[in-house]
Structure 1
Amino acid sequence: MTSTEVEILRAALDQWKSAVDAHEPKRVASCFTDDAIFQGLHPYSIGPQGVADYYESQPIGMTAAYDIRETRRLGDDLVLGYLNVDFTFVDRPMVKVYLCVIVRRIGDVWLINHYQVSRLG
């Protein structure tokens, strides 16, 4: 992993985490590209509206903690990240997942273009 790739991922994912932790679905959606493929633990969607709908359905008090495990530079404007994410709730057990994201540079900002969650064993 290079520090540049980690910094790029952290810039995008810290914005995502902040919005998830605050239960602000529209702000979560603003972290994604207009054509983002989003696969949470429910059926997939394309674009920010599906992301907003998904996070609107999540319980208030849910928070996310992530750990970047691997990165790959896919192109000048694309970085892949492989992460462990723990979603914590106030009234149920933590959910541990693997998350694969691709962030894409749009102008001066990096946005999530692909988001794929898999549940840990």
Structure 2
Amino acid sequence: MTEPQGAAERPELYADTSDGPGRALSEVLARWRSAFDARHTERVAALFTPDALFQGLGTTSFLSRERVREYYERVPAGTRAEVRIAYAYRLDGALGGIAEIRFTHPDRVRTAMVSVVLTRAGEQWLIRHWHAAATGA
């Protein structure tokens, strides 16, 4: 199948988390995991842009850092996360990636694939977009 004329180039994918976009995504998600596991919802929310587009494992999506904080406040106590970066890529002025996150709740385990877009805010990367989809595993 041929690409339509004028089709955008596909980004180069990086599975390596030691350099480039993979490293930046890995660092942001490591900070997310640390704050998530410790139930520091303010620290979790601070990793998102004020107008972040967020879709968690529920049915509602929203544009708000404050709503991100409220979402994470409803996560059951004792829930922990394991993060594995599948790949990362560069976008115009941003980074993107896919991660597999395994949530261990006190009474069950749930796995999700999460698409993330990061944007630069001064010297740090913040999450501009987060979309989680349960894998059924």
Match of 1:82 in 2: 98
Match of 1:119 in 2: 134
Correspondence 1:19-58 to 2 at 5 A: 19-42=35-58, 43-58=60-75
Q: Is the 8 A contact 2:99 2:114 kept in 1?
A: yes
Equivalenced residue count is 119
Q: Where do 5+ consecutive residues of structure 1 fail to align?
A: none
Identity of aligned residues (%): 33
Q: Is the 8 A contact 1:11 1:110 kept in 2?
A: no
Instruction: Give distance in 1, aligned partners of 2:66 and 2:130.
Output: 14
Instruction: Give distance in 1, aligned partners of 2:63 and 2:20.
Output: 28
Match of 1:65 in 2: 82
Q: Is the 8 A contact 1:39 1:117 kept in 2?
A: yes
Q: Where do 5+ consecutive residues of structure 2 fail to align?
A: 1-13
Bigger Rg, structure 1 or 2 = 2
Deviation at 1:15, TM superposition (A): 1.1
**Any runs of at least 4 consecutive aligned residues in structure 1 with deviations exceeding 4 A, and if so which?**
none
Cα deviation 1:74-102 (Å, max 9, x = unaligned) = 12x31111111100112x11100100000
* SS of residue in 2 equivalent to 1:51: helix
TM-score of the superposed pair, with normalisation by structure 2: 0.83
